[in-house]
Amino acid sequence: MKIYISADIEGVTGINHWDETEKTKEDYEYFAEQMTREVESACKGATNAGADEIWIKDAHETGRNLDPLKLPENIRLIRGWSGHPFSMVQGLDESFDALMYIGYHSWGGSNFNPLAHTMHNSAIDYIKLNGELCSEFLIHSYIAAYLGVPVAFLSGDKGLCEEVNRLNENIVTVAVNEGIGNSTISIHPDLAIAKIKKGVEEALKGDLNKYKIKLPDSFKLEIRYSTHQMAYRNSFYPNAKQIEAKTIVLNSDDYFDILRGVLFLT
Q: What is the CA radius of gyration of the chain?
A: 18
Query: Is residue 61 a known part of a binding site?
Result: no
**Domain limits of the chain?**
2-117+136-211, 219-265
Is 190 annotated to bind a ligand? Reply is: no
Confirm or deny that 105 is annotated as ligand binding: yes
Q: What b-and-e string marks burial along 27-44, b requiring 16 or more CB atoms within 10 Å of the CB?
A: ebeebbbbbbbbbbbbbb
Report d(CA 41, CA 256) in Å as an integer: 32
Annotation says 84 is catalytic: no
Distance CA 69, CA 107 (A): 31
Give the CATH number of domain 2-117+136-211; options: 2.40.50.140, 1.20.120.80, 3.20.20.100, 3.40.50.10780: 3.40.50.10780
Of 17, 84, 117, 140, which is the active-site residue?
Answer: 117
Question: What pTM did the predictor assign?
Answer: 0.96
- Tens of each residue's pLDDT in the chain, 266 residues: 999 999 999 999 999 999 999 999 999 999 999 999 999 999 999 999 999 999 999 999 999 999 999 999 999 999 999 999 999 999 999 999 999 999 999 998 899 999 999 987 678 999 999 999 999 999 999 999 999 999 999 999 999 999 999 999 999 999 999 999 999 999 999 999 999 999 999 999 989 999 999 999 999 999 999 999 999 999 999 999 999 999 999 999 999 999 999 999 99
Distance CA 200, CA 174 (A): 9
DSSP H or E run through 203: helix 189-204
